[in-house]
A and B are shown apart, each in its own frame.
Chain A
Amino acid sequence: MHDLISANKRRTALLVVGFIVFLLLVGWAAGLYIGSPVWGTAVALVFSGLVSFGSYWKSDAIALRVSRAVPADPATYQRLHNLVEGLCIASGLPKPAIYVIEDEAPNAFATGRNPRHAAIAVTSGLLDQMNRVELEGVLAHELSHIRNYDILISTMAVTLVGAIALLSDLAIRLMWWNGGRVRRSGDRSDSGNPLAIVGFILLILAPVIAAILQAAVGRRRETLADVSACQMTRYPPGLISALEKLKADTTVTHAASTATAHMWIEQPLSGVGDAGRLSRLHSLFNTHPPLEERIALLREI
Protein backbone atom coordinates (compact mmCIF):
# COMPACT_ATOMS: atom_id res chain seq x y z
CA MET A 1 0.00 0.00 0.00
CA HIS A 2 2.76 2.43 0.87
CA ASP A 3 4.52 1.54 -2.38
CA LEU A 4 1.38 2.38 -4.32
CA ILE A 5 1.10 5.69 -2.55
CA SER A 6 4.68 6.74 -3.21
CA ALA A 7 4.47 5.52 -6.81
CA ASN A 8 1.40 7.66 -7.32
CA LYS A 9 3.05 10.71 -5.82
CA ARG A 10 6.08 10.20 -8.03
CA ARG A 11 3.93 9.94 -11.15
CA THR A 12 2.04 13.10 -10.24
CA ALA A 13 5.33 14.94 -9.90
CA LEU A 14 6.43 13.64 -13.28
CA LEU A 15 3.17 14.72 -14.88
CA VAL A 16 3.40 18.20 -13.39
CA VAL A 17 6.99 18.55 -14.57
CA GLY A 18 5.91 17.38 -18.01
CA PHE A 19 3.16 19.95 -17.91
CA ILE A 20 5.60 22.75 -17.10
CA VAL A 21 7.97 21.62 -19.84
CA PHE A 22 5.03 21.66 -22.23
CA LEU A 23 4.20 25.18 -21.10
CA LEU A 24 7.76 26.29 -21.83
CA LEU A 25 7.53 24.71 -25.28
CA VAL A 26 4.33 26.59 -25.99
CA GLY A 27 5.97 29.73 -24.66
CA TRP A 28 8.80 29.26 -27.10
CA ALA A 29 6.39 28.66 -29.97
CA ALA A 30 4.37 31.72 -29.06
CA GLY A 31 7.60 33.67 -28.76
CA LEU A 32 8.30 33.01 -32.40
CA TYR A 33 5.19 35.01 -33.16
CA ILE A 34 5.02 37.65 -30.52
CA GLY A 35 8.71 38.40 -30.41
CA SER A 36 9.60 37.54 -26.85
CA PRO A 37 9.12 34.01 -25.53
CA VAL A 38 10.26 34.74 -22.00
CA TRP A 39 7.96 37.69 -21.39
CA GLY A 40 5.04 35.98 -23.12
CA THR A 41 5.30 32.89 -20.96
CA ALA A 42 5.81 34.90 -17.80
CA VAL A 43 2.83 37.17 -18.37
CA ALA A 44 0.55 34.28 -19.31
CA LEU A 45 1.64 32.33 -16.24
CA VAL A 46 1.16 35.25 -13.89
CA PHE A 47 -2.25 36.17 -15.21
CA SER A 48 -3.49 32.61 -15.25
CA GLY A 49 -2.01 32.06 -11.79
CA LEU A 50 -3.83 35.06 -10.36
CA VAL A 51 -7.17 33.86 -11.68
CA SER A 52 -6.68 30.26 -10.62
CA PHE A 53 -5.32 30.97 -7.18
CA GLY A 54 -8.07 33.47 -6.58
CA SER A 55 -10.59 30.73 -7.16
CA TYR A 56 -8.46 28.23 -5.18
CA TRP A 57 -8.49 30.49 -2.17
CA LYS A 58 -12.25 30.55 -2.14
CA SER A 59 -12.64 27.08 -3.62
CA ASP A 60 -14.70 25.72 -0.76
CA ALA A 61 -17.31 28.48 -0.84
CA ILE A 62 -17.55 28.46 -4.62
CA ALA A 63 -17.88 24.70 -5.00
CA LEU A 64 -20.49 24.45 -2.26
CA ARG A 65 -22.59 27.31 -3.59
CA VAL A 66 -22.53 25.92 -7.14
CA SER A 67 -23.70 22.51 -5.96
CA ARG A 68 -26.38 23.96 -3.65
CA ALA A 69 -24.97 22.22 -0.61
CA VAL A 70 -26.52 22.69 2.83
CA PRO A 71 -24.65 22.29 6.14
CA ALA A 72 -25.38 18.90 7.70
CA ASP A 73 -26.99 19.21 11.13
CA PRO A 74 -25.12 16.99 13.65
CA ALA A 75 -28.34 15.85 15.32
CA THR A 76 -29.98 14.66 12.09
CA TYR A 77 -26.88 13.27 10.43
CA GLN A 78 -25.31 11.62 13.47
CA ARG A 79 -23.82 8.65 11.67
CA LEU A 80 -22.22 10.90 9.04
CA HIS A 81 -20.62 13.13 11.67
CA ASN A 82 -19.47 10.18 13.79
CA LEU A 83 -17.79 8.49 10.82
CA VAL A 84 -15.97 11.67 9.79
CA GLU A 85 -14.80 12.28 13.36
CA GLY A 86 -13.46 8.73 13.64
CA LEU A 87 -11.57 9.09 10.36
CA CYS A 88 -10.12 12.42 11.46
CA ILE A 89 -8.75 10.74 14.56
CA ALA A 90 -7.21 8.03 12.38
CA SER A 91 -5.53 10.52 10.06
CA GLY A 92 -4.76 13.37 12.45
CA LEU A 93 -6.69 15.84 10.28
CA PRO A 94 -8.87 18.59 11.75
CA LYS A 95 -12.55 17.92 11.19
CA PRO A 96 -13.82 19.56 7.97
CA ALA A 97 -17.22 21.23 7.58
CA ILE A 98 -19.84 18.73 6.42
CA TYR A 99 -22.55 19.45 3.86
CA VAL A 100 -25.45 17.54 2.32
CA ILE A 101 -26.81 17.92 -1.22
CA GLU A 102 -30.35 16.97 -2.15
CA ASP A 103 -29.79 14.61 -5.05
CA GLU A 104 -30.80 11.00 -5.67
CA ALA A 105 -27.55 10.02 -7.33
CA PRO A 106 -24.94 8.72 -4.88
CA ASN A 107 -21.86 10.94 -5.02
CA ALA A 108 -19.58 13.05 -2.84
CA PHE A 109 -16.85 15.64 -3.15
CA ALA A 110 -14.21 17.37 -1.05
CA THR A 111 -12.94 20.90 -1.41
CA GLY A 112 -10.93 23.57 0.41
CA ARG A 113 -7.46 25.02 0.08
CA ASN A 114 -5.86 23.17 3.03
CA PRO A 115 -6.98 20.75 5.77
CA ARG A 116 -7.90 23.61 8.07
CA HIS A 117 -10.29 25.21 5.57
CA ALA A 118 -11.84 22.11 4.08
CA ALA A 119 -15.36 20.88 3.44
CA ILE A 120 -16.92 17.58 2.42
CA ALA A 121 -20.32 17.30 0.73
CA VAL A 122 -22.35 14.12 0.21
CA THR A 123 -25.59 13.63 -1.67
CA SER A 124 -28.71 12.38 0.08
CA GLY A 125 -28.65 9.53 -2.44
CA LEU A 126 -25.28 8.39 -1.08
CA LEU A 127 -26.53 8.42 2.50
CA ASP A 128 -29.57 6.34 1.56
CA GLN A 129 -27.80 3.72 -0.51
CA MET A 130 -24.56 3.04 1.32
CA ASN A 131 -24.18 1.05 4.52
CA ARG A 132 -21.84 2.05 7.32
CA VAL A 133 -18.56 0.62 6.03
CA GLU A 134 -19.23 1.75 2.47
CA LEU A 135 -20.03 5.29 3.60
CA GLU A 136 -16.86 5.24 5.67
CA GLY A 137 -14.85 4.20 2.61
CA VAL A 138 -16.25 7.06 0.53
CA LEU A 139 -15.62 9.58 3.32
CA ALA A 140 -12.06 8.29 3.71
CA HIS A 141 -11.56 8.83 -0.05
CA GLU A 142 -12.72 12.43 0.25
CA LEU A 143 -10.60 13.07 3.34
CA SER A 144 -7.62 11.68 1.45
CA HIS A 145 -8.13 14.33 -1.22
CA ILE A 146 -7.90 16.94 1.51
CA ARG A 147 -4.90 15.33 3.15
CA ASN A 148 -2.99 15.00 -0.12
CA TYR A 149 -3.63 18.64 -1.06
CA ASP A 150 -5.31 17.55 -4.28
CA ILE A 151 -7.20 20.80 -4.56
CA LEU A 152 -3.86 22.60 -4.72
CA ILE A 153 -2.56 20.23 -7.36
CA SER A 154 -5.61 20.56 -9.58
CA THR A 155 -5.36 24.32 -9.20
CA MET A 156 -1.78 24.13 -10.42
CA ALA A 157 -2.94 22.04 -13.35
CA VAL A 158 -5.69 24.49 -14.17
CA THR A 159 -3.20 27.37 -13.96
CA LEU A 160 -0.94 25.68 -16.45
CA VAL A 161 -3.84 24.94 -18.77
CA GLY A 162 -4.93 28.54 -18.54
CA ALA A 163 -1.46 29.84 -19.27
CA ILE A 164 -1.10 27.54 -22.25
CA ALA A 165 -4.50 28.53 -23.60
CA LEU A 166 -3.70 32.23 -23.20
CA LEU A 167 -0.35 31.93 -24.93
CA SER A 168 -1.58 29.96 -27.87
CA ASP A 169 -4.60 32.16 -28.33
CA LEU A 170 -2.53 35.32 -28.17
CA ALA A 171 0.09 34.02 -30.54
CA ILE A 172 -2.43 32.92 -33.11
CA ARG A 173 -4.23 36.24 -32.99
CA LEU A 174 -1.00 38.21 -33.40
CA MET A 175 0.00 35.99 -36.24
CA TRP A 176 -3.33 36.62 -37.89
CA TRP A 177 -2.92 40.36 -37.54
CA ASN A 178 0.58 40.25 -38.85
CA GLY A 179 -0.63 38.54 -41.97
CA GLY A 180 0.98 35.27 -41.10
CA ARG A 181 4.54 36.46 -40.96
CA VAL A 182 7.02 35.29 -38.40
CA ARG A 183 8.29 38.34 -36.59
CA ARG A 184 11.84 38.03 -35.38
CA SER A 185 14.14 40.93 -34.65
CA GLY A 186 16.73 41.18 -37.35
CA ASP A 187 14.82 38.99 -39.74
CA ARG A 188 14.27 40.15 -43.29
CA SER A 189 10.81 38.75 -43.91
CA ASP A 190 9.04 35.52 -43.32
CA SER A 191 11.80 33.27 -44.52
CA GLY A 192 11.34 29.56 -44.59
CA ASN A 193 11.86 29.05 -40.88
CA PRO A 194 10.99 25.37 -40.58
CA LEU A 195 10.54 25.56 -36.86
CA ALA A 196 7.74 28.04 -37.39
CA ILE A 197 5.56 25.26 -38.78
CA VAL A 198 6.19 23.08 -35.74
CA GLY A 199 5.46 26.03 -33.51
CA PHE A 200 2.24 26.72 -35.34
CA ILE A 201 0.96 23.18 -35.04
CA LEU A 202 1.93 23.14 -31.39
CA LEU A 203 -0.02 26.31 -30.79
CA ILE A 204 -3.17 24.95 -32.34
CA LEU A 205 -2.99 21.66 -30.50
CA ALA A 206 -1.84 23.19 -27.24
CA PRO A 207 -5.16 23.61 -25.47
CA VAL A 208 -6.18 20.05 -26.33
CA ILE A 209 -2.91 18.56 -25.13
CA ALA A 210 -3.14 20.65 -21.98
CA ALA A 211 -6.63 19.33 -21.28
CA ILE A 212 -5.38 15.77 -21.72
CA LEU A 213 -2.50 16.39 -19.31
CA GLN A 214 -4.85 17.92 -16.77
CA ALA A 215 -7.17 14.91 -16.99
CA ALA A 216 -4.17 12.59 -16.54
CA VAL A 217 -3.13 14.40 -13.37
CA GLY A 218 -6.72 14.21 -12.11
CA ARG A 219 -6.93 10.47 -12.73
CA ARG A 220 -3.64 9.87 -10.92
CA ARG A 221 -4.88 11.78 -7.89
CA GLU A 222 -8.11 9.81 -7.87
CA THR A 223 -6.19 6.54 -7.71
CA LEU A 224 -4.00 7.98 -4.96
CA ALA A 225 -7.09 9.00 -2.99
CA ASP A 226 -8.50 5.45 -3.32
CA VAL A 227 -5.34 3.88 -1.94
CA SER A 228 -4.94 6.53 0.79
CA ALA A 229 -8.51 5.87 1.85
CA CYS A 230 -7.72 2.20 2.37
CA GLN A 231 -4.67 3.14 4.37
CA MET A 232 -6.87 5.32 6.56
CA THR A 233 -9.59 2.76 7.24
CA ARG A 234 -7.33 -0.33 6.97
CA TYR A 235 -10.42 -1.92 5.41
CA PRO A 236 -10.39 -2.02 1.56
CA PRO A 237 -13.63 -4.05 1.22
CA GLY A 238 -15.61 -1.02 2.44
CA LEU A 239 -14.54 1.23 -0.41
CA ILE A 240 -14.60 -1.65 -2.93
CA SER A 241 -18.20 -2.37 -2.03
CA ALA A 242 -19.09 1.33 -2.34
CA LEU A 243 -17.45 1.57 -5.77
CA GLU A 244 -19.33 -1.50 -6.93
CA LYS A 245 -22.60 0.06 -5.85
CA LEU A 246 -21.62 3.23 -7.72
CA LYS A 247 -20.88 1.17 -10.81
CA ALA A 248 -24.32 -0.42 -10.70
CA ASP A 249 -26.04 2.93 -10.31
CA THR A 250 -26.61 4.92 -13.48
CA THR A 251 -28.37 8.01 -12.11
CA VAL A 252 -26.87 11.27 -13.30
CA THR A 253 -25.89 13.69 -10.56
CA HIS A 254 -27.87 16.80 -11.36
CA ALA A 255 -26.05 19.04 -8.94
CA ALA A 256 -22.83 18.64 -10.92
CA SER A 257 -21.64 20.46 -14.03
CA THR A 258 -18.68 20.29 -16.41
CA ALA A 259 -16.81 22.74 -14.24
CA THR A 260 -17.14 20.66 -11.08
CA ALA A 261 -17.03 17.20 -12.66
CA HIS A 262 -13.46 16.47 -11.58
CA MET A 263 -14.12 16.86 -7.86
CA TRP A 264 -16.73 14.16 -7.36
CA ILE A 265 -15.88 10.61 -6.39
CA GLU A 266 -17.50 9.26 -9.53
CA GLN A 267 -18.06 10.85 -12.92
CA PRO A 268 -21.33 12.66 -12.55
CA LEU A 269 -22.05 13.35 -16.22
CA SER A 270 -23.92 11.03 -18.52
CA GLY A 271 -22.42 9.89 -21.79
CA VAL A 272 -19.16 8.96 -20.15
CA GLY A 273 -17.85 5.44 -20.52
CA ASP A 274 -19.34 4.89 -23.96
CA ALA A 275 -18.08 1.98 -26.03
CA GLY A 276 -18.19 3.62 -29.45
CA ARG A 277 -15.38 3.88 -31.96
CA LEU A 278 -13.97 7.05 -30.52
CA SER A 279 -14.17 5.80 -26.93
CA ARG A 280 -10.40 5.52 -26.58
CA LEU A 281 -10.04 9.12 -27.61
CA HIS A 282 -12.78 10.15 -25.20
CA SER A 283 -11.14 8.23 -22.40
CA LEU A 284 -8.12 10.53 -22.59
CA PHE A 285 -10.30 13.29 -21.22
CA ASN A 286 -11.90 11.29 -18.40
CA THR A 287 -11.68 13.01 -15.06
CA HIS A 288 -11.77 9.66 -13.24
CA PRO A 289 -10.30 6.27 -14.02
CA PRO A 290 -12.94 3.71 -14.98
CA LEU A 291 -14.58 2.07 -11.98
CA GLU A 292 -13.54 -1.47 -12.97
CA GLU A 293 -9.93 -0.37 -12.93
CA ARG A 294 -10.28 1.28 -9.53
CA ILE A 295 -11.98 -1.78 -8.05
CA ALA A 296 -9.39 -4.14 -9.54
CA LEU A 297 -6.54 -2.07 -8.06
CA LEU A 298 -8.09 -2.02 -4.60
CA ARG A 299 -8.70 -5.77 -4.63
CA GLU A 300 -4.98 -6.32 -4.94
CA ILE A 301 -4.11 -4.45 -1.78
Chain B
Amino acid sequence: MTAWIVVAVMVVLLLAFVLLYNSLVRRRAQVDNAWSQIDVQLRRRLDLIPNLVETVKGYAQFERSTLDAVITARQSALTAAPSPQAQASADNMVSGALRQLFALSEAYPDLKANQNFLALQEQLAETESRVAYARQFYNDEVLRLNTAIQHFPTLIVARLFGFTEREYFEAGPEAQAPPKVSFS
Protein backbone atom coordinates (compact mmCIF):
# COMPACT_ATOMS: atom_id res chain seq x y z
CA MET B 1 0.00 0.00 0.00
CA THR B 2 2.70 2.46 0.99
CA ALA B 3 4.59 1.54 -2.17
CA TRP B 4 1.71 2.89 -4.26
CA ILE B 5 1.64 6.13 -2.30
CA VAL B 6 5.34 6.62 -2.76
CA VAL B 7 5.02 5.99 -6.50
CA ALA B 8 2.10 8.43 -6.75
CA VAL B 9 4.05 11.14 -4.90
CA MET B 10 7.05 10.63 -7.15
CA VAL B 11 4.91 10.85 -10.26
CA VAL B 12 3.37 14.11 -9.04
CA LEU B 13 6.81 15.55 -8.26
CA LEU B 14 8.10 14.55 -11.67
CA LEU B 15 5.13 16.18 -13.38
CA ALA B 16 5.67 19.37 -11.38
CA PHE B 17 9.32 19.41 -12.39
CA VAL B 18 8.48 18.98 -16.04
CA LEU B 19 5.88 21.77 -15.96
CA LEU B 20 8.21 24.19 -14.20
CA TYR B 21 11.10 23.41 -16.52
CA ASN B 22 8.90 23.95 -19.58
CA SER B 23 7.63 27.25 -18.27
CA LEU B 24 11.22 28.45 -17.76
CA VAL B 25 12.18 27.39 -21.27
CA ARG B 26 9.20 29.27 -22.63
CA ARG B 27 10.05 32.45 -20.69
CA ARG B 28 13.64 32.34 -21.84
CA ALA B 29 12.57 31.89 -25.47
CA GLN B 30 10.28 34.92 -25.10
CA VAL B 31 13.20 37.01 -23.86
CA ASP B 32 15.37 35.97 -26.81
CA ASN B 33 12.53 36.72 -29.18
CA ALA B 34 11.97 40.15 -27.61
CA TRP B 35 15.67 40.94 -27.94
CA SER B 36 15.75 40.11 -31.63
CA GLN B 37 12.61 42.24 -32.12
CA ILE B 38 14.57 45.26 -30.91
CA ASP B 39 17.23 44.33 -33.38
CA VAL B 40 14.71 44.24 -36.23
CA GLN B 41 13.55 47.78 -35.49
CA LEU B 42 17.10 49.08 -35.04
CA ARG B 43 18.15 47.52 -38.34
CA ARG B 44 15.22 49.19 -40.01
CA ARG B 45 16.34 52.53 -38.68
CA LEU B 46 19.92 51.96 -39.81
CA ASP B 47 18.66 50.95 -43.25
CA LEU B 48 16.76 54.21 -43.63
CA ILE B 49 19.88 56.29 -42.98
CA PRO B 50 21.78 55.90 -46.32
CA ASN B 51 18.67 57.09 -48.17
CA LEU B 52 18.45 60.07 -45.86
CA VAL B 53 22.11 60.95 -46.33
CA GLU B 54 21.75 60.82 -50.13
CA THR B 55 18.70 63.12 -50.05
CA VAL B 56 20.46 65.64 -47.83
CA LYS B 57 23.76 65.61 -49.75
CA GLY B 58 21.98 67.19 -52.70
CA TYR B 59 21.77 70.37 -50.66
CA ALA B 60 25.52 70.92 -50.90
CA GLN B 61 25.82 73.64 -48.31
CA PHE B 62 24.59 71.27 -45.61
CA GLU B 63 27.21 70.99 -42.88
CA ARG B 64 29.61 68.24 -43.77
CA SER B 65 30.39 67.48 -40.12
CA THR B 66 26.76 66.68 -39.26
CA LEU B 67 26.47 64.27 -42.18
CA ASP B 68 29.76 62.63 -41.25
CA ALA B 69 28.58 62.22 -37.65
CA VAL B 70 25.50 60.35 -38.86
CA ILE B 71 27.50 58.08 -41.15
CA THR B 72 30.11 57.26 -38.47
CA ALA B 73 27.42 56.59 -35.87
CA ARG B 74 25.70 54.21 -38.26
CA GLN B 75 28.95 52.34 -38.95
CA SER B 76 29.73 51.84 -35.29
CA ALA B 77 26.16 50.70 -34.60
CA LEU B 78 26.47 48.06 -37.33
CA THR B 79 29.69 46.71 -35.86
CA ALA B 80 28.89 47.01 -32.15
CA ALA B 81 29.19 44.03 -29.78
CA PRO B 82 25.94 42.11 -29.22
CA SER B 83 25.59 42.90 -25.51
CA PRO B 84 22.64 45.13 -24.53
CA GLN B 85 24.87 47.84 -23.08
CA ALA B 86 27.13 48.15 -26.13
CA GLN B 87 24.13 48.23 -28.43
CA ALA B 88 22.48 50.86 -26.27
CA SER B 89 25.40 53.30 -26.40
CA ALA B 90 25.96 52.81 -30.15
CA ASP B 91 22.27 53.42 -30.65
CA ASN B 92 22.30 56.57 -28.54
CA MET B 93 25.00 57.97 -30.80
CA VAL B 94 22.84 57.33 -33.83
CA SER B 95 19.86 59.03 -32.16
CA GLY B 96 21.97 62.05 -31.25
CA ALA B 97 23.41 62.41 -34.74
CA LEU B 98 19.98 62.11 -36.35
CA ARG B 99 18.53 64.66 -33.99
CA GLN B 100 21.26 67.12 -34.92
CA LEU B 101 20.62 66.50 -38.60
CA PHE B 102 16.89 67.13 -38.35
CA ALA B 103 17.40 70.23 -36.22
CA LEU B 104 19.75 71.72 -38.81
CA SER B 105 17.35 70.89 -41.63
CA GLU B 106 15.11 73.60 -40.19
CA ALA B 107 17.44 76.15 -41.79
CA TYR B 108 16.98 74.72 -45.30
CA PRO B 109 13.40 75.38 -46.48
CA ASP B 110 13.99 73.66 -49.83
CA LEU B 111 15.11 70.51 -48.07
CA LYS B 112 12.10 70.64 -45.77
CA ALA B 113 9.79 70.85 -48.79
CA ASN B 114 11.39 67.80 -50.40
CA GLN B 115 8.82 64.99 -50.36
CA ASN B 116 11.42 62.31 -50.04
CA PHE B 117 12.93 64.01 -47.02
CA LEU B 118 9.54 64.40 -45.36
CA ALA B 119 8.63 60.76 -45.93
CA LEU B 120 11.97 59.63 -44.51
CA GLN B 121 11.54 61.89 -41.50
CA GLU B 122 8.10 60.41 -40.81
CA GLN B 123 9.40 56.85 -41.17
CA LEU B 124 12.35 57.51 -38.87
CA ALA B 125 10.07 59.05 -36.25
CA GLU B 126 7.82 55.99 -36.48
CA THR B 127 10.80 53.65 -36.15
CA GLU B 128 12.05 55.47 -33.04
CA SER B 129 8.64 54.88 -31.47
CA ARG B 130 8.78 51.18 -32.37
CA VAL B 131 12.30 50.80 -31.02
CA ALA B 132 11.08 52.25 -27.74
CA TYR B 133 8.15 49.82 -27.64
CA ALA B 134 10.38 46.87 -28.52
CA ARG B 135 12.71 47.77 -25.65
CA GLN B 136 9.77 48.08 -23.31
CA PHE B 137 8.56 44.63 -24.34
CA TYR B 138 12.06 43.18 -23.88
CA ASN B 139 12.25 44.59 -20.38
CA ASP B 140 8.80 43.23 -19.55
CA GLU B 141 9.83 39.75 -20.69
CA VAL B 142 13.11 39.94 -18.77
CA LEU B 143 11.12 40.91 -15.69
CA ARG B 144 8.92 37.85 -16.08
CA LEU B 145 11.88 35.53 -16.57
CA ASN B 146 13.86 36.92 -13.66
CA THR B 147 10.85 36.82 -11.36
CA ALA B 148 10.11 33.22 -12.34
CA ILE B 149 13.72 32.22 -11.65
CA GLN B 150 13.53 33.81 -8.21
CA HIS B 151 10.17 32.32 -7.18
CA PHE B 152 10.37 29.40 -4.82
CA PRO B 153 9.54 26.10 -6.54
CA THR B 154 10.84 27.29 -9.92
CA LEU B 155 14.05 28.36 -8.18
CA ILE B 156 15.07 24.74 -7.69
CA VAL B 157 14.55 23.80 -11.32
CA ALA B 158 16.34 26.94 -12.47
CA ARG B 159 19.43 26.22 -10.38
CA LEU B 160 19.51 22.61 -11.48
CA PHE B 161 19.37 23.39 -15.18
CA GLY B 162 21.40 26.57 -15.20
CA PHE B 163 18.82 29.22 -16.07
CA THR B 164 20.38 32.60 -15.38
CA GLU B 165 18.81 36.00 -14.94
CA ARG B 166 19.10 38.35 -17.87
CA GLU B 167 20.06 42.01 -17.75
CA TYR B 168 17.59 44.78 -18.43
CA PHE B 169 17.97 47.21 -21.25
CA GLU B 170 18.92 50.49 -19.68
CA ALA B 171 19.13 53.80 -21.48
CA GLY B 172 22.50 54.73 -20.09
CA PRO B 173 23.73 58.07 -18.67
CA GLU B 174 23.66 59.86 -22.06
CA ALA B 175 19.89 59.53 -22.21
CA GLN B 176 19.42 61.09 -18.78
CA ALA B 177 20.85 64.43 -19.84
CA PRO B 178 18.71 66.76 -22.00
CA PRO B 179 19.48 66.36 -25.71
CA LYS B 180 22.14 68.76 -26.94
CA VAL B 181 21.19 70.44 -30.17
CA SER B 182 23.21 73.31 -31.62
CA PHE B 183 21.97 75.54 -34.41
CA SER B 184 25.39 76.83 -35.43
Interface residues of A (CB under 8 A from B): 82, 85-87, 89-92, 234
Contacts and interface: CB of A to CB of B under 8 A. Distances in A.
Interface in B12-45: 30, 34, 37, 41
A234 B136 contact: yes
B136 A90 contact: yes
A85 B137 contact: no
Contacts, number: 23
B41 A89 contact: yes
B126 A89 contact: no
Question: In the complex, which of the residues A85, A86, A89, A92 has the most CB atoms of chain B within 10 Å of its own CB atom?
Answer: A89
Contacts of B30: 92
A54 B34 CA distance: 35
Contact of A92 (B34, B126, B129): B34
Given A89-B37, A89-B41, A82 B133 contact: no
Contacts of B129: 86
Nearest to B143: A2
Interface string B71-88: 000000000000000000
B46 interface: no
Binding site of B, secondary structure by majority: helix, strand, loop or mixed?
helix
B137 A90 contact: yes
A86 B130 contact: yes
Given A86-B126, A90-B134, A234-B136, 12 more contacts: A82-B126, A86-B129, A86-B133, A87-B133, A89-B37, A89-B41, A89-B133, A89-B134, A90-B136, A91-B137, A92-B34, A92-B141
Interface size class of B (residues with CB under 8 A): 10 to 19
B34 A90 contact: no
Nearest to B129: A86
Contacts of B34: 92
Contacts of A87: 133
A17 to B, nearest CB: 25
Nearest to B30: A92
B126 A90 contact: no
A183 B118 CA distance: 80
Contact of B130 (A89, A91, A92, A234): A89
A7 B110 CA distance: 56
A87 B136 CA distance: 11
15 contacts: A82-B126, A86-B126, A86-B133, A89-B37, A89-B41, A89-B134, A89-B137, A90-B133, A90-B134, A90-B136, A90-B137, A92-B34, A92-B137, A92-B141, A234-B136
Contacts of A85: 130
A225 B130 CA distance: 22
B148 to A, nearest CB: 15
A83 to B, nearest CB: 9
Contacts of B134: 89-90
B156 to A, nearest CB: 25
A89 B37 CA distance: 8
Contacts of B130: 85-86, 89
A74 B133 CA distance: 21
Contacts of A92: 30, 34, 137, 141
Question: In the complex, which of the residues B41, B133, B134, B137 has the most CB atoms of chain A within 10 Å of its own CB atom?
Answer: B133
Contacts of B137: 89-92
B169 to A, nearest CB: 14
